[in-house]
Structure formats: C-alpha cells, structure tokens
C-alpha cells in the first residue's frame, strides 16, 4: 500500500463520511488505499479538537505607574505608546494594553499647524491689540489669499463605510492635482471677490499690485462713494509681496496710506476673520470627499460657495474682532481660538 505525506481535502471528507457510516480506521485505510497509521493520526487529531490558547500572565500597572504614563504623555504628545512607556521604565506591556491605558486618559488628535510665536511676536500682538482696541472694524477691509487644490485635504477623504461595502476610490495625484490661488476680502457684511490669481503667476510686489489694479480697484473699489473710500481701512498680512516698499508706495498713490493701511502683527492668521471664511468655503467645496478634474471646475465651486455665504455670516466674522483683541490681551499675546 502506497504511503503519502498528507491527506488531500477529498480524502479527509471521505474519512469523515466513512466514520459516520460506522467504518473502522482499518477499513477506511483499505478503501482509500492509504497507510493505516496516517488514517489513525488524522482521526486522533480531529478528536482532540483545536489547541487551547495559552493565556500569558498580563503585566499589572500600578497607580504610580499610571501617573508616570500620564505625565510622559503630556510631555511627549506625538510619541508612540512604546516610547511613552519606555520613558517611564515600564516594560513587558503589550501594545493593546498600552493603547487601552492611553485611550482612557487621552485622545488621539491631529497636531495643529500654526506659525511659532516667540516673545517678540507676543509683545507685538499685544501692542497691535491695544492700538486698535477702539477701532470701528465695520470699516476695515480684511483681505487674504487661499490656495485650493483639485483633491482637497487628505484628512477629509474619510467617512462611514458600511460592513461588507468597499470604500470609494479616490484619484491619487501629485501635489493634490494642482490648484488655484484665490484672493478675496470681507468688510462689514459684504465680501469682495473672490478673484482668481492668474495660474502660474508668482506674486512678487509688481505682480501683486497689478493684480489689485485689475481686480480689486477696477471691479469693486472704483464703484464705491468718496465717503466710503475716505473711511475705509485696508488690511493685508505681512507676506513679502504685501509689505514691501514698492507695494506700500503703490497703495499710497491709490490713497491707502498711513492710518488707512492697517499694520499687522507677525504670525497672526488667527486674528484675521477672513480665515474663517476660507474654512466655510473649503468645507462646502470638499464636502463628502469631493474631487475635481480641472482648475475651472474647482474655481466655479469656489465662486458658488462664496456666493452662498450670506451677509449675516460675514457680519458675524467682522464683528468678532473686538472679542479677538480682548482674547489676545487676556492671553498676553498668545494664540486664540478662531
């Protein structure tokens, strides 16, 4: 009788059927033309059932060690669970236990991205808040640029996928598929623009001033009354193309100079209410993980989203400035929540 190393799937099925019919192991070996020992070994293994999992003794964490872990997690918020426990000299704890312990005392959150603030920055932010504390912010035009890509932020492409369902497929492109640079402004309950900064144009001082001439001044500012122009203040951040001597002199020739050109503290996007408008627009154009196939399509989405922002929403943003200034002073120049 020939001997083989392993039983095939069909042979195993036949063995189970023959056993159910009351055949002995010797008879099954003859029917299958297999070695009797092979059949007996298969029957014995199946009768024993699956091997029981051996529970390893778990490492117990004391209350003192828990306090050490909590302090280490506060000092190393972006470290791995292993690094946190190793810094506390706590070894032998499996990953699942480490995660469960940290989940009890902390929450996984994405790190916030913001410019660094040093002591000088904080002092300048406080000085700025004191200077403009009694300003009528309804007469200030808040401006800024925003870049939108075809794909949108990666973190917004997540959602609830039902069990048994496949996740939707997203296009994968370098640099988010390219994008559009948008300039806009808000004043009181009105928004200015948005205007598309020409694709491929790097905004130096000359191109920035020419852009303002072709869009802001010709399409919006020129239509305003003399009294409006007299009382309006112009706000822009400290980007090199904005704060250069060339741009400052050019704006002065347009009548925007001295007190009409608002000074701006360094590293302060949290103080500009138009940043909140950008958030509203991005939430609208990228909702449900939407992607775009062309620059024109994403631009049309930006324009449509901007038109859907009503005057009351813009007014809420511009009227928030008094509270922002008080928060800056209360936090001694530190960052405030937008």
Q: Which residues pair with 180 in a beta bridge?
A: 148
Per-residue pLDDT at 1: 46
Domain spans, the chain:
9-45, 63-105, 119-154+177-331
Distance CA 180, CA 183 (A): 10
Distance CA 313, CA 189 (A): 8
The structure tokens listed for 153 are 């932020």
Is residue 189 exposed (0-12), middle (13-18) or buried (19+ Cβ within 10 Å)?
middle
Distance CA 310, CA 296 (A): 24
0.75 surpassed by pTM: no
Main-chain phi, psi angles of 152, to 5 degrees:
80, 175
Distance CA 250, CA 238 (A): 16
Distance CA 61, CA 68 (A): 11
Pick from 318, 327, 236, 328: nearest CA to 277? 318
Per-residue pLDDT at 162: 74
Q: Which residues of the chain have pLDDT under 50?
A: 1
Per-residue pLDDT at 123: 95
Distance CA 83, CA 104 (A): 18
Strands (E), the chain: 140-149, 179-187, 190-197, 233-235
CB atoms under 10 Å from CB of 88, counted, come to: 17
How would you list the strands of the sheet with 190-197, edge to edge?
190-197, 179-187, 140-149, 233-235
Strands 233-235 and 140-149 come out as: parallel
Domain 119-154+177-331, CATH class in plain words: alpha beta
The structure tokens listed for 73 are 């997690």
The structure tokens listed for 127 are 């000085």
Per-residue pLDDT at 157: 66
Per-residue pLDDT at 226: 93
Is residue 6 exposed (0-12), middle (13-18) or buried (19+ Cβ within 10 Å)?
exposed
Per-residue pLDDT at 14: 87
Per-residue pLDDT at 278: 94
What is the b/e burial string over 285-298, where b = at least 16 CB atoms within 10 angstroms of the residue's CB? bbeeeebbeebeeb
């Amino acid at each position: 009788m020939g001997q083989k190393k392993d039983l095939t799937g069909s042979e195993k099925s036949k063995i189970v059927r023959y056993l159910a019919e009351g055949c002995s192991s010797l008879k099954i070996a003859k029917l299958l033309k297999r070695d009797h020992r092979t059949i007996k070994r298969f029957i014995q293994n199946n009768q024993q059932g699956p091997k029981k999992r051996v529970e390893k003794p778990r490492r117990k964490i004391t209350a003192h060690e828990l306090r050490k872990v909590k302090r280490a997690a506060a000092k190393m918020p972006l470290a791995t669970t292993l690094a946190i426990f190793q810094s506390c000299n706590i070894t032998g704890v499996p990953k699942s236990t480490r995660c469960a312990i940290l989940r009890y005392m902390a929450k996984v959150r994405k790190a916030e991205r913001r410019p660094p603030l040093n002591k000088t920055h904080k002092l300048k932010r406080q000085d700025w808040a004191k200077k403009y504390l009694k300003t009528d912010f309804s007469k200030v035009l808040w401006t800024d640029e925003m870049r939108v890509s075809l794909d949108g932020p990666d973190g917004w492409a997540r959602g609830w996928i039902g069990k048994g369902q496949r996740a939707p497929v997203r296009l994968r492109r370098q640099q988010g598929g390219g994008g559009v640079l948008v300039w806009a402004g808000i004043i009181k309950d009105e928004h200015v623009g948005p205007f598309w900064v020409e694709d491929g144009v790097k905004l130096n001082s000359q191109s920035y001033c020419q852009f303002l001439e072709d869009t802001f001044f010709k399409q919006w500012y020129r239509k305003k009354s003399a009294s409006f122009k007299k009382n309006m203040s112009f706000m822009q951040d400290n980007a090199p193309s904005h704060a250069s001597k060339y741009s400052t002199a050019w704006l002065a020739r347009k009548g925007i100079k001295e007190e009409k050109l608002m000074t701006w503290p360094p590293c302060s996007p949290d103080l500009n209410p138009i940043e909140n408008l950008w958030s509203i627009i991005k939430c609208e154009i990228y909702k449900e993980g939407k992607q775009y196939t062309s620059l024109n399509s994403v631009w049309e989405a930006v324009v449509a989203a901007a038109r859907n922002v009503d005057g009351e929403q813009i007014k809420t943003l511009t009227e928030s400035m008094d509270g922002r200034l008080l928060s800056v002073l209360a936090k001694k120049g530190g960052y405030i929540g937008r």
